[in-house]
Amino acid sequence: MTEYNPNVIEKKWQDIWEEKEVFKTSTDKSKPKFYALIEFPYPSGKGLHVGHPRPYTALDIVARKRRFEGYNVLYPMGWDAFGLPTENFAIKNKIHPKVVTEKNVEMFKNQLKSIGFSFDWSREINTTDPMYYKWTQWIFLKMFEKGLAYKQEMPINWCTSCKVGLANEEVVNGTCERCGGEVVRKVKNQWMLKITEYADRLINDLDTVDYIERVKTQQINWIGKSEGMEVDFQISGTDDKLRVFTTRPDTLYGSTYMVIAPEHPLIEKYKNEIKNLDELKTYQEMSSKKSDFERTELVKEKTGVEIKGLKAINPANGKEIPIWISDYVLISYGTGAIMAVPSHDSRDWEFAKKFGLPIVEVVAGGNVEENAYTDTESGILINSGFLNGLEVKEAKKKMSDWLEEKGLGERKINYKLRDWVFSRQRYWGEPIPLVYCEKCGWVPVPEEELPVLLPEVESYEPTDNGESPLAKMKDWVETTCPKCGGKATRETDTMPQWAGSSWYFLRYIDPHNENELASKEELDYWLPVDWYNGGMEHTTLHLLYSRFWHKFLYDLGVVPCPEPYKKRTSHGMILGENNEKMSKSRGNVINPDEIVNEYGADTLRTYEMFIGDFEKSVPWSENGVKGCRRFLERVWRLQDIVVEGDDCSKELETSIHKTIKKVTEDYENLKFNTAIAALMSLLNEFNSIGKMTHEDMRTYLILLNPVAPHITEEMWDRLNLGGMLHKATWPKWDKDKIVDEIIEIAIQINGKVRGKETISIDETKESIREKVLKNEGTRKYVEGKNIVKEIYVPGKIYNIVVK
Ligand code: ANZ
Ligand code: ZN
């Protein structure tokens, strides 16, 4: 037998698959469909990273398995190619971003092809292709038409080094997510998208999809729905009111002072009455330099200034209280003003302690001299007039009713989510297809004139006053108004990088359509995406944005379902050997090309799936790579023990059927490592009995094929196992053959049987526990609760007590 030589066989099979269009999605709509999606990469100059193939291989495995099972599979790939790194490279090296992008795409594509992913390359898309961004612009215009895009003077996050406005999501710890530069606030006229209008639906519809729990939780927290009251405090000696937002109207009697954000208009309005205006101005100046992040950081010592000459009246007890300004109150949330209750809010408590303000306990249960008592479950109201003796929940309701009755306030729901800053003052993005006319205002470019192409410019650098480089192109900027024919100017801002990725999964469905973003027939068949895997870092950015766009398109009647993705999973990162992030500066970056060249693509794929729990971050290990290569060599040598005969080996029947079951289930549950481990141990069993029938080999190769497609296809061919491997059908396990191994146990929660789970008799307690907690039927009784006790009666009942 010849030696295992991946360099030869991998290229050979990649060429055959490509030539025979093996992975081209079928047009046959009578088959069940499976749409597998991974986040398309940004084609940076650095090339593919070993982190990329992890999710790509995972869904490649599922896609290949589903093809064997008779599904019509869509597993596409494309390029999210607009954005800053390419533009910054273009500026530095004076090369057009288009050229940079082409080069990088070519490099990425070759790298991906060398790993043998089963993408349907005929559906490749690129967000910078005018035929693509025509539809990105079209969706924007629809939003504009429906009033969801509007321009507003906004204090934005301004990166002093990229010279560009950033979305809140792009600011990390007060610095630019991309370059690490300092972020300050700057007021700019910005296009905004009203994602807030969809806030409730973005929360509620999470109930209808199968996302991993931490993704759901992060989205819910990011949207930050908060139910409370707006309450008016009279300003002493005037008819004027100062309105606050509070989630604790029950604590109103304990409000001993008020705080407004430094930007609050009250200061300007009462500048003649205020006695310490200069001091306040200095404070305002100072806080304008801080980011929201810095301002709300809990550990920071509180700062503030009392507004002398103004007082407010607590509407509950009629007492006069002081008003302060402090930057721990944000202008962008609620009403930009709060009623401070130092006894029951930690920030207010710290502030009161620092400035010697009175602390009045109104919910008994803690020790408010020591710290704020914030518990809302068990306290009883005191010092609070008509609320005395009530629990917090009742008191909230009673106070809210009272305030509404007296016309002093109203119930209000607030969200942390802000509208999406949708302008960038940069070159390498989709032009915003609007023109400004003195007479008609903002006018959309007519649909038949889309796409508005990015013009050629001399330099891609933003201007120093923060305008886009497009602003310097007089010929392009000056145009006529589509409405009245008068003089008009084009919008020179471009869209953010998140635009193109907000709908790309729709374009894969019908990538060459010239008349629509995708045809209704194709959308009806393929949507929703059945399985979307992507990084946790995109949970509050791309994932939320694309759900928002999809819902908008659903409202327009363009797409048939309100949610784009049926299922969302997430992978862990691959770290350097010493458990650190891989980075150029640490010199620990592994280039997948080197692994492919030295060990083969199948080894890379096997290793990345065997490396550990798919959802957890794991360190790279060269030894691990070698181990996987040795495994594949042993697979290769199985050819030596093949004997004539088409029936399954009798001796190993149970093992084979158990392995089929395990691998089949594990692939679907992201447990690739344990699937591979099962295949390793089955290999050992074949070797120990020293023979394998053709049928055994077929089964084995099909099971391993999704992980290591080249070696398995080659062995199938050499052993003449019938046609080509990728055309085979997925093996089925026979329940009867493993019957004595599989038993059913009952799951009992708080004394009631709520469901059943099948386990094998030799299954470990940890594994059984994991199954029980994930059980479809019983999960809902356990989730979000405290497990206080677990008792397992082996082979019979798994008892859980929750609180
Ligand atoms: C009085 C009070 C008493 C509060 C108490 C809390 C506890 P969430 O849940 O995040 O919505 N707040 C309101 N607007 C604010 C702003 N612009 N900047 C900073 N803080 C603001 O929090 C709502 C609570 O945060 C509000 O309820 C208010 O403080 C504060 F025992 O009012 B509370
Ligand atoms: Zn006009």
405: helix, strand or coil: helix
Give exposure, 142-163, as e/b (b: 16+ Cβ within 10 Å).
bbbeeebbebeebbbbbbeebb
- Using an 8 Å Cβ cutoff, are 643 and 689 in contact? no
pLDDT for 307-328, tens place per residue? 999 999 999 999 999 999 999 9
Task: State the ligand closest to the CA atom of 248.
Answer: 1
Residue nearest to atom 12 of ligand 1 (CA): 338
Radius of gyration of the chain (CA): 31
Range of the domain at 368: 225-415
Q: Which atom of ligand 1 has the smallest separation from the CA of 343?
A: 31
Same-domain status, 233 and 295: yes
pLDDT band at 188 (very low <50, low <70, confident <90, very high): confident
Give residue 752's identity as a one-letter amino acid code. Answer: K
User: Is residue 169 pLDDT above 80, yes or no?
Assistant: no
CATH number where 132 lies: 3.40.50.620
User: What phi, psi does 572 have (nearest 5°)?
Assistant: -85, 165
Counting ligand 1 atoms within 8 A of each CB, the residue from 321, 333, 350, 418 with the most, and so the one to mutate, is 333
User: What phi, psi does 316 have (nearest 5°)?
Assistant: -80, -45
Same-domain status, 571 and 552: yes
Q: Assess whether the C-beta atom of 344 lies below 6 angstroms from ligand 1.
A: yes
Q: Which atom of ligand 1 has the smallest separation from the CA of 255?
A: 1
197: helix, strand or coil: helix
Residue 545 lies in a domain: yes
User: Is residue 750 pLDDT above 80, yes or no?
Assistant: yes
Q: Which atom of ligand 1 has the smallest separation from the CA of 340?
A: 1
Angle ∠(376,377,382) on CA atoms, nearest 5: 65
**Residues tagged in the binding site annotation for ATP:** 584
| Count: domains in the chain | 4
Residue 795 lies in a domain: yes
Give the integer Cα–Cα distance in Å for 300 and 290: 12
pLDDT band at 762 (very low <50, low <70, confident <90, very high): confident
Half-sphere exposure in the Cβ direction for 687 (13 Å, CA):
12
Residue nearest to atom 28 of ligand 1 (CA): 246
pLDDT for 455-474, tens place per residue? 988 888 777 677 888 998 99
Reduce the secondary structure of 657-670 to three states and give it as a string: HHHHHHHHHHHHCC
Q: How far, in Å, from the CA of 277 to the mean position of ligand 1?
A: 26
* Residue 256, CA distances (Å) to 312, 658, 768 in order: 10, 69, 55
Q: Which of 415, 438, 460 is the last residue of a domain?
A: 415
First CA to last CA across the chain, in angstroms? 63
How many CB atoms within 10 Å of residue 265? Answer: 11
Same-domain status, 632 and 541: no
Give the integer Cα–Cα distance in Å for 487 and 479: 6
Same-domain status, 621 and 705: yes
User: Is residue 671 pLDDT above 80, yes or no?
Assistant: yes
Give the integer Cα–Cα distance in Å for 740 and 708: 32
Q: Assess whether the C-beta atom of 336 lies below 6 angstroms from ligand 1.
A: yes
Dihedral of alpha carbons 557, 560, 565, 566, sign: positive
User: Is residue 523 pLDDT above 90, yes or no?
Assistant: yes
Q: Which atom of ligand 1 has the smallest separation from the CA of 341?
A: 3
Give the integer Cα–Cα distance in Å for 339 and 527: 48
- Give the CA diameter of the chain: 102
Q: What pTM was estimated for this model as a whole?
A: 0.86
Q: Assess whether the C-beta atom of 414 lies below 6 angstroms from ligand 1.
A: yes
Lowest mean pLDDT among 346-350, 532-536, 786-790: 786-790
- Residue 415: name the closest of 178, 245, 289 by CA: 245
Nearby residues of 681 by Cβ (< 8 Å), 6 or more positions away: none
Q: Which atom of ligand 1 has the smallest separation from the CA of 247?
A: 27
Give the integer Cα–Cα distance in Å for 321 and 732: 76
Residue 352 lies in a domain: yes
Same-domain status, 50 and 75: yes
Residue 65 lies in a domain: yes
Counting ligand 1 atoms within 8 A of each CB, the residue from 245, 259, 371 with the most, and so the one to mutate, is 245
757: helix, strand or coil: strand
- 738 secondary structure, DSSP code: G
- pLDDT the model gives residue 776: 84
Q: How far, in Å, from the CA of 626 to the mean position of ligand 2?
A: 68
- 421 secondary structure, DSSP code: E
Nearby residues of 208 by Cβ (< 8 Å), 6 or more positions away: 562, 563
Q: Which atom of ligand 1 has the smallest separation from the CA of 374?
A: 31
Reduce the secondary structure of 494-554 to three states and give it as a string: ECCCCCHHHCHHHHCCCCCCCCCCCCHHHHHHHCCECEEECCHHHCCCHHHHHHHHHHHHH
- pLDDT the model gives residue 289: 75
How many CB atoms within 10 Å of residue 629? Answer: 20
Q: Which of 575, 592, 611 is the last residue of a domain?
A: 575
Residue 425 lies in a domain: no
* Phi-psi domain of 26 (left: phi exceeds 0; alpha: psi -120 through 50; beta: other): beta
Tell me: ipTM over 0.95.
yes
Give the integer Cα–Cα distance in Å for 660 and 704: 10
Give the integer Cα–Cα distance in Å for 270 and 323: 12
Q: Assess whether the C-beta atom of 195 lies below 6 angstroms from ligand 1.
A: no
Give the integer Cα–Cα distance in Å for 280 and 389: 41
> 103: burial class by Cβ within 10 Å (0-12, 13-18, 19+)?
middle
Same-domain status, 741 and 723: no
Cis peptide before 528 (omega within 30 of 0): yes
- 481 secondary structure, DSSP code: -
**If you search the block for the tokens 């292709």, which residue do you land on?**
129
Q: How far, in Å, from the CA of 741 to the mean position of ligand 2?
A: 78
- pLDDT the model gives residue 157: 80
- pLDDT the model gives residue 388: 98
Residue nearest to atom 31 of ligand 1 (CA): 344
pLDDT band at 159 (very low <50, low <70, confident <90, very high): confident
- Residue 451: name the closest of 519, 514, 520 by CA: 514
- Using an 8 Å Cβ cutoff, are 785 and 803 in contact? yes
- Using an 8 Å Cβ cutoff, are 392 and 379 in contact? yes
- Residue 451: name the closest of 128, 99, 191 by CA: 128
Q: How far, in Å, from the CA of 294 to the mean position of ligand 1?
A: 17
Q: Assess whether the C-beta atom of 327 lies below 6 angstroms from ligand 1.
A: no
User: What phi, psi does 574 have (nearest 5°)?
Assistant: -100, 125
- Structure tokens, 413: 């729901």
Reading across the β-sheet that carries 434-437, which strands appear in turn? 441-444, 434-437, 487-490, 478-480
Give residue 759's identity as a one-letter amino acid code. Answer: I
User: Is residue 296 pLDDT above 70, yes or no?
Assistant: no
* Residue 746, CA distances (Å) to 312, 468, 774 in order: 63, 64, 14
CATH number where 272 lies: 3.90.740.10
Q: How far, in Å, from the CA of 766 to the mean position of ligand 1?
A: 43
CATH number where 628 lies: 1.10.730.10
- Using an 8 Å Cβ cutoff, are 700 and 648 in contact? no
> 751: burial class by Cβ within 10 Å (0-12, 13-18, 19+)?
exposed
The pLDDT mean for the chain works out to 94
Read off the pLDDT of each residue in 531-544 and give the average, rounded to a whole number: 96
Q: How far, in Å, from the CA of 440 to the mean position of ligand 2?
A: 4
Residue nearest to atom 7 of ligand 1 (CA): 345
Q: How far, in Å, from the CA of 218 to the mean position of ligand 1?
A: 20
**If you search the block for the tokens 């029980």, which residue do you land on?**
772
- Residue 572: name the closest of 130, 51, 172 by CA: 51
Q: Assess whether the C-beta atom of 345 lies below 6 angstroms from ligand 1.
A: yes
Same-domain status, 605 and 540: no
- 438 secondary structure, DSSP code: T
753: helix, strand or coil: strand
User: Is residue 299 pLDDT above 70, yes or no?
Assistant: no
Same-domain status, 28 and 112: yes
Q: How far, in Å, from the CA of 348 to the mean position of ligand 1?
A: 9
- Residue 256: name the closest of 339, 155, 194, 333 by CA: 339
Counting ligand 1 atoms within 8 A of each CB, the residue from 223, 248, 256 with the most, and so the one to mutate, is 248
692: helix, strand or coil: strand
- pLDDT the model gives residue 291: 66
Q: Assess whether the C-beta atom of 329 lies below 6 angstroms from ligand 1.
A: yes
Residue 218 lies in a domain: no
- pLDDT the model gives residue 183: 86
Residue 213 lies in a domain: no
Which residues of 99-208 form beta strands (DSSP E)?
125-126, 149-159, 164-166, 171-172, 175-176, 183-193
460: helix, strand or coil: coil
Give the integer Cα–Cα distance in Å for 418 and 197: 10
Read off the pLDDT of each residue in 738-749 and give the average, rounded to a whole number: 83
What does the chain come to in residues? 803
Same-domain status, 743 and 706: no
- Using an 8 Å Cβ cutoff, are 302 and 354 in contact? yes
Same-domain status, 403 and 537: no
- Using an 8 Å Cβ cutoff, are 482 and 435 in contact? yes
- Structure tokens, 561: 């379902």
- Residue 541: name the closest of 172, 182, 197 by CA: 172
Same-domain status, 709 and 761: no
- pLDDT the model gives residue 153: 87
Residue 167 lies in a domain: no
Q: Assess whether the C-beta atom of 88 lies below 6 angstroms from ligand 1.
A: no
Nearby residues of 260 by Cβ (< 8 Å), 6 or more positions away: 242, 266, 267, 307, 323, 324, 325, 329, 336, 337, 338
Angle ∠(769,770,772) on CA atoms, nearest 5: 65
Dihedral of alpha carbons 393, 398, 403, 404, sign: positive
Q: Assess whether the C-beta atom of 463 lies below 6 angstroms from ligand 1.
A: no
Read off the pLDDT of each residue in 658-672 and give the average, rounded to a whole number: 97
- Using an 8 Å Cβ cutoff, are 578 and 588 in contact? yes
- pLDDT the model gives residue 740: 63
Q: Assess whether the C-beta atom of 373 lies below 6 angstroms from ligand 1.
A: no
Residue nearest to atom 11 of ligand 1 (CA): 226
Lowest mean pLDDT among 91-100, 148-157, 372-381: 148-157
Same-domain status, 607 and 756: no
Give residue 501's identity as a one-letter amino acid code. Answer: S
* Residue 687, CA distances (Å) to 319, 450, 683 in order: 87, 64, 6
pLDDT for 248-294, tens place per residue? 999 999 999 999 999 999 999 999 999 999 999 999 998 887 766 66
Q: How far, in Å, from the CA of 338 to the mean position of ligand 1?
A: 7
Counting ligand 1 atoms within 8 A of each CB, the residue from 221, 246, 416 with the most, and so the one to mutate, is 246
